[in-house]
């Protein structure tokens, strides 16, 4: 048997390619939209991708199943569990609890595991050349290492009321089935630390059924109502783009036939973009953005969280351009394609040419810890903590209110336009993102706390817990 785990850091997402070397057949589980990686692996291992499947309708990235099927002629196998309201709406071979996918000498048995979503399934893998017994389970967003899938996305992200409690009960029942599996079975989940599909995922890529039963918090609570309360408590804010991902993945993403190749804009083309108020996404780091950026542009730094924050900041029905280096444009284009941001007008590599032609640049005002301490004594300012609520509750600056960075535009009525407004996060990236959104909406009396709350604590300033 051939086995390969692929991990995309930006979305903390796992996919898998598994092959029977005797017959040359292979299956891909939860493929990303960038399919060349699977095709290259298959070719190097003398395998043909004949089967493609998913654990559920994903909310955090666009599925590559249709893309991969178009390129390989592999057949798509998808869940038909959960009722008609939760099923895929494009052509596939339906799967139900207990069904088996045969990939040469490999068997993948379907285990219906609702809770994260109503249609969710997991796959129990056996290599029959060794034994009929299960050796691995691919759990998708059902069981993670150290956590389980959140049941609230349909309600919080998609807006389908009344699903949260029911999904939590389904998760409790699904975990009961999981507990009955042999402890030696390897657990390979769909996400790791950094994903918004759970609240306490480990960075360890895999585990076993036995270890999860003794270490995962979800298996330590026997009472259903207590489990539901704990499962729903302190879940991270779901990114805005999750609702769109659910819709597109259900009906089937567009087959691209390859990653788009964006146009590098000339200065005149870029001037036209600016004059037409097309959204500008500036991927430079927070300090470069603060030092000088085009008025109204949005800052999403090119780091491991770029994809998620782009999903928070951009709108799917509006075109945009990107500011990034020529050595990073290809990777960022892949990141944008992963969440279906396809209204990509083009890019420029830097702002030097723009500034050299006497075009105005805007700055982000900075405030130091000592300056903020003085201003905070006489309430001349409004302080906004843009981190997750759990981070805010663990420790925050006195008088700070909590508004998640991704929801700052939804809360403009809470911003005091008659005071200096200071934003902070852990170290400054998220607050820079939020400030760029406020400035995009015409609020200019805003400041970024240099170094964030990390600097505040390092310099000995008091926090509220």
When computed from its CA atoms, the radius of gyration of the chain, rounded to whole angstroms, is 24
Distance CA 302, CA 10 (A): 10
The tokens for 195 are 């994903």
Whether the CB-CB separation of 262 and 344 falls below 8 Å is answered with yes
- Residues with active-site annotation: 425
326-330 contacts at long range (C-beta below 8 A, 24 or more positions apart): 326/264, 328/283, 328/302, 329/262, 329/264, 330/259
The tokens for 301 are 């730094």
Whether the CB-CB separation of 89 and 247 falls below 8 Å is answered with no
Whether the CB-CB separation of 382 and 450 falls below 8 Å is answered with no
Distance CA 202, CA 225 (A): 25
Place of tokens 């390619």: 17
Distance CA 36, CA 258 (A): 8
Query: Could you tell me what percentage of the chain is helix, strand and coil, using 3-state DSSP and rounding each to the nearest 5?
Result: 30, 25, 45
Whether the CB-CB separation of 133 and 209 falls below 8 Å is answered with no
Burial per residue of 52-87, b for 16 or more beta-carbon CB atoms within 10 angstroms, e otherwise: bbbbbbbbbbbbbbbbbbebbebbbbbbbbbeeebb
Tell me phi and psi for residue 76, to 5 degrees: -100, 125
Place of tokens 């309201």: 85
Per DSSP, the three-state class of 179 is helix
- How far CA 161 is from CA of 111, 169, 243, in Å, comes to 27, 15, 14
Distance CA 286, CA 364 (A): 9
By DSSP bridging, strand 365-367 and strand 446-449 are parallel
Tell me phi and psi for residue 79, to 5 degrees: -65, 135
Per DSSP, the three-state class of 381 is strand
Burial class (CB in 10 A: 0-12, 13-18, 19+), 343: middle
Tell me phi and psi for residue 113, to 5 degrees: -135, 65
């Amino acid at each position: 048997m051939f086995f390969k785990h692929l991990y995309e850091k930006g979305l903390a997402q796992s996919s898998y390619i598994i092959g029977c070397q005797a017959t040359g057949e292979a299956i891909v589980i939860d493929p990303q939209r960038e399919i060349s990686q699977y095709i290259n692996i298959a070719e190097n291992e003398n395998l043909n991708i004949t089967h493609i499947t998913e654990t559920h309708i994903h909310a955090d990235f666009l599925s590559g199943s249709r893309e991969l099927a178009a390129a390989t002629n592999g057949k798509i196998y998808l869940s038909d569990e959960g009722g008609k309201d939760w099923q895929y709406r494009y052509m596939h071979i339906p799967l139900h609890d207990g069904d088996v996918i045969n990939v040469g000498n490999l068997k993948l048995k379907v285990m219906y595991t609702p809770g994260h979503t109503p249609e969710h399934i997991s796959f129990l893998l056996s290599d029959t050349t060794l034994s009929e017994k299960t050796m691995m389970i691919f759990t998708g967003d059902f069981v993670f290492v150290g956590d389980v899938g959140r049941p609230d996305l349909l309600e919080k992200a998609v807006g389908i009321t009344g699903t949260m409690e029911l999904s939590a009960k389904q998760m409790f029942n699904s975990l009961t089935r999981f507990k009955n599996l042999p402890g030696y079975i390897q657990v390979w989940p769909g996400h790791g630390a950094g994903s918004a599909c759970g609240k306490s995922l480990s960075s360890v890529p895999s585990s076993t059924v036995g270890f999860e039963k003794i270490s995962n918090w979800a298996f330590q609570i026997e009472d259903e109502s207590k489990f539901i309360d704990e499962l729903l408590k302190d879940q991270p804010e779901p990114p805005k783009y999750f609702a769109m991902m659910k819709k597109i993945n259900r009906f089937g993403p567009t087959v691209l036939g390859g990653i788009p190749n964006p146009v590098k804009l000339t200065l005149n083309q870029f001037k036209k973009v600016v004059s037409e108020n097309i959204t500008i996404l500036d991927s430079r780091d927070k300090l470069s953005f603060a030092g000088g950026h085009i008025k109204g542009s949005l800052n999403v730094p090119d780091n491991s969280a770029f994809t998620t924050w782009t999903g928070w900041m951009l709108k799917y029905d509006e075109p945009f351009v990107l500011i990034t280096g020529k050595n990073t444009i290809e990777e960022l284009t892949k990141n944008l394609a992963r969440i279906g941001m396809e209204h990509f007008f083009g890019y420029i590599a830097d702002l030097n040419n723009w500034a050299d032609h006497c075009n105005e640049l805007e700055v982000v005002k900075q405030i130091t810890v000592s300056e903020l301490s003085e201003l905070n004594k006489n309430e001349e300012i409004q302080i906004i903590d843009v981190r997750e609520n759990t981070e805010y509750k663990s420790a925050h600056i006195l008088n700070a209110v909590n508004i998640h960075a991704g929801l700052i535009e939804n809360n403009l009525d809470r911003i005091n336009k008659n005071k200096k407004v200071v934003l902070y996060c852990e170290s400054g990236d998220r607050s820079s993102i939020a400030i760029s959104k406020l400035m995009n909406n015409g609020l200019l009396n805003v400041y970024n706390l240099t170094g964030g709350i990390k600097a505040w604590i390092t310099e000995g300033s008091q926090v509220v817990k």
